[in-house]
Amino acid sequence: MEIRNLGRSGLRVSVVGLGCNNFGGRIDLEASRKVIDAAIDQGITLFDTSNTYGNRGGSETAMGEILGARRKDIVLATKFGGPMDDDGVKVGAARRYIMAAVEDSLTRLKTDYIDLYQLHRPDPLTPIEETLRALEDLIRQGKVRYAGCSNLAGWQVVESAWTARDVGAFPFVSAQDEYSLVVRDIERELIPAAKTYGMGLLPYYPLGSGLLTGKFRQGTEMPKGTRLANEKRQADRYLTDANWTIVEGLRSFAEARGHRLLELAFSWLACREPVASVIAGATKPEQVVQNVKAAGWALTAEDMAEIDRISGRA
């Protein structure tokens, strides 16, 4: 397993990370244990969750039960900012909430510290300076090692970097955003900002909600149990004529070189600067093994140019 620095920070993470959103909700404790065991066996070190995953706290609780002494061997990342109640109180990035949210996460995770504590989404009601100063206090207290962000616009990433520099606070070392061969919007502004300020990128939904697994064919019935079969909103978003054209072109590209579409999806992301780790969820151990193996295709500059042409980015 390749290990990379997260941006210009000293935090090192595996090039394939485990998304833990299925724990405590979609799959039970024993199934979660098998996935975590497989991930550790495969050399995955980055485990990414959120306080909201698993019906508000379920994922963190499951991980706290399962990890035990192996906690020290992984990079544990979680998030704050999403709603943890229905009253609009336990939400956001204000100092008062952050200080309570981190204690709750530490308790559920059964740990003394969080390696990467990430703002899950922008909070329009709280100045970024307040958020950064609160996170700095947690870092100085040893409860958090590094801070990151997720789902911020490019201008918000720049604002956070300039604010941190201006007030002498610790900056965000990473940005976690949706990025795949069929969703490349962040290339316009966010990726240039992340490169400029030395932030590592942690792509989620690397398989385009399943579209890039190779299981789907236009005009055929969606495989039962898949997200695109079960969630109409996701299907409407991803199953467009433009995406089908891209996917079929990419499938042909991969197969002509003796690879699968899934391998192309992972390996392409792993080759993109400033990607540090590709976050992929799993509900079964074999999916973990498959994801790790998929990231091993070393694409050439010519390959990358051809992929851009197929994707309409040339």
Residue 240 lies in a domain: no
**Which tokens hold the place of 190?**
């966010």
Predicted pLDDT of residue 225: 66
Q: Which domain holds residue 40?
A: 3-210+260-298
Rounded percentage of the chain residues whose pLDDT exceeds 90? 86
146 labelled catalytic: no
Mapping DSSP to helix (H, G, I), strand (E, B) and coil, where does residue 147 land? strand
Rounded CA-CA distance 299/314 in Å is 17
What single-letter amino acid sits at 265?
Answer: A
Mean pLDDT of all residues in 246-261:
96
Residue 32 lies in a domain: yes
pLDDT at 226 over 90: no
The gap from C-alpha 20 to its chain's centroid, in whole angstroms, comes to 10
Mean pLDDT of all residues in 90-97:
95
Residue 94 lies in a domain: yes
pLDDT range class, residue 113, cuts 50, 70, 90: very high
Predicted pLDDT of residue 224: 73
pLDDT range class, residue 215, cuts 50, 70, 90: confident
Domain count, the chain: 1
**Which tokens hold the place of 191?**
């990726």
Task: Specify the CATH number for the domain of residue 160.
Answer: 3.20.20.100
Residue 231 lies in a domain: no
Q: Can you give the C-alpha Rg of the chain in angstroms?
A: 19
Mean pLDDT of the chain: 94
Mean pLDDT of all residues in 50-70:
96
Mean pLDDT of all residues in 225-254:
84
Q: Around Cβ 242, how many Cβ atoms within 10 Å?
A: 10
Q: Catalytic: which of 53, 146, 204, 205? A: 53
Residue 86 lies in a domain: yes
Residue 137 lies in a domain: yes
CA angle 79, 33, 45 (to 5 degrees): 55
Residue 125 lies in a domain: yes
pLDDT at 185 over 90: yes
Predicted pLDDT of residue 217: 80
Residue 306 lies in a domain: no
Nearest to 176 by CA among 199, 202, 196: 202
Q: Do the beta carbons of residue 82 and residue 91 sit within 8 Å?
A: yes
